[in-house]
Amino acid sequence: MLDALTIVDDFQPIIDLVICDITNPNTRRSYKQSIIYFLNWWKDEGRPVFCKEIVLKYRLGLVNSGLAAATINLRMQSIRKLALESLNHGLMDANTANGIRRVKNLRISGTRSGNWLSKEQAEQLINAPDTNNIIGIRDRAILACMLGAGLRRTECANLKVDNIQMRDGRWCLCDIIGKGNRIRTIPIADWVKQSLDAWCLTGKIYSGCLFYSLDRTHYYKERKQMCDQAIYEIVRFYANICGIKVLPHDLRRTFGKLAYKGGSDIIQIQSSLGHSDPKTTLRYLGDVQSFEDAPADHLGLKL
C-alpha cells in the first residue's frame, strides 16, 4: 500500500487521506505531524509491509524512547486512521486494516502535573513587551488575552474587534468559538481592555480580525491575520526574556489557577475556560495536589 504511493519522495497524498475530514486546525496539524513521524520511521526500517506487527514494533519504539502515553496514543490514533482511509480508498485489504485498527492505546493512569506561573511571573511576562513600539503594544495585548481571559492561542489568533462587547455593565470577549465548537463569553478585567484599546488605537484597528502580522518596519502593507504558531513564538520569545519556562497553554492554566487562588468560584472559571467537564477545570487548577501545603511539609523530619 505505501509503496504504491511512492511516499518516500512525496508524503502529501497519504497525509491528505488522513486529514482531509479533520476540521480543527490543531488536530489536523497534530495528525499530519504524527503521520510524518511514522513514515520517516517506516523509511528507516526499509519500507516493510504495513501491517499490525509493524505498528506494534513502532509503538514499542515510542515507549522505549520515553514519550508520554498521551503522545503515543495520539500517534497510534493517526495510524489507525491511516489504515481506515487506506481501506476506504482500496489501498489495503480489510483484514490488514482491521488488524492495525485493533492495536490498542497505552493505558494512562493518574494525571500529569500542569505548569503554572506565579502572580509575580505572570506580571513579569505581561510587562515584558516594549510598549514604546507598535509590536510591543500588540504583543502585550496578546499576552493580556491569554493570561487575562484564558484564551487558547487559536482563539486568540481568531479574535475579531466585534468580539469586544459590553455585557451587564462590563467589558467581555463575546461569542468565542472554542474547542468542540463550544461558544462562550468571557468577562475581562480593566487592564485587559486597556491593553486591547492601546493596540486598536496604535494599529488603527477598527473592524475585522484583531491581531495582524507586522513587517520589519513594524507596519503592514495589507492586513494579514496572525496564525496560532506566530502567537506560540511570541509567548516563547517573552518567556525567554523573562527566564521563564512556559508554553502558551500554560498561560491558560495560569488564568484559572490565579483566579481560583484569588477566590473565584470554580464554576465561573469553568465557564470562562469553556470546559464541558468540571474535572478538566480541576486538573487545570491542580486542586487535588497542593504544592503550598503538601504532605511532605507535615513529616517533622530533619537532616
Q: How many angstroms separate the most distant Cα atoms in the chain?
A: 68
- Indicate if 131 and 7 belong to the same structural domain: no
Tally the residues of the chain. 303
Higher local confidence (pLDDT), 197 or 1: 197
- Indicate if 164 and 256 belong to the same structural domain: yes
- pLDDT of 117-142, one tens digit each? 989 999 999 999 999 999 999 999 99
> Looking at the DSSP assignment, which residues form a beta bridge with residue 212?
225
- Indicate if 253 and 140 belong to the same structural domain: yes
- Indicate if 140 and 45 belong to the same structural domain: no
- pLDDT of 87-124, one tens digit each? 887 888 899 989 999 998 888 655 555 688 989 999 99
- Indicate if 90 and 208 belong to the same structural domain: no
Contact call for residues 135 and 214 (beta carbons, < 8 A): yes
Nearest to 79 by CA among 49, 108, 61, 59: 59
pLDDT of residue 11: 64
- Indicate if 86 and 132 belong to the same structural domain: no
Decide if 74 is inside a domain: yes
Nearest to 104 by CA among 32, 55, 54: 55
CATH of the domain at 56: 1.10.150.130
Decide if 297 is inside a domain: no
| % residues pLDDT > 90 (the chain) | 40
pLDDT of residue 288: 52
- Indicate if 139 and 171 belong to the same structural domain: yes
- Indicate if 59 and 168 belong to the same structural domain: no
CATH of the domain at 280: 1.10.443.10
- Band (pLDDT 50/70/90 cuts) for residue 1 is very low
- pLDDT of 158-192, one tens digit each? 999 999 999 989 999 999 998 878 899 999 999 99
- Which of 101, 133, 153 is the C-terminal boundary of a domain? 101
- pLDDT of 26-49, one tens digit each? 788 888 888 888 988 988 888 888
Tell me the three cell numbers of residue 246: 512556559
Decide if 292 is inside a domain: no
Q: How many domains in the chain?
A: 2
In three-state secondary structure terms, 192 is helix
Decide if 298 is inside a domain: no
- Indicate if 265 and 126 belong to the same structural domain: yes
Range of the domain at 242: 119-285
- Indicate if 227 and 85 belong to the same structural domain: no
pLDDT of residue 286: 66
Residue 216 has pLDDT above 80, yes or no: no
Q: What mean pLDDT is predicted for residues 195-224? A: 82
Decide if 293 is inside a domain: no
pLDDT of residue 9: 47
- Indicate if 128 and 238 belong to the same structural domain: yes
- pLDDT of 229-282, one tens digit each? 899 999 999 999 999 988 898 999 999 889 988 888 888 988 898 888 887 787
Helical segments of the chain, H only:
12-19, 25-44, 52-64, 69-88, 94-101, 119-126, 134-149, 153-157, 190-203, 228-242, 248-261, 266-273, 278-285
Decide if 266 is inside a domain: yes
Calculate the average pLDDT of the chain: 85
DSSP category for residue 152: -
- Indicate if 89 and 128 belong to the same structural domain: no
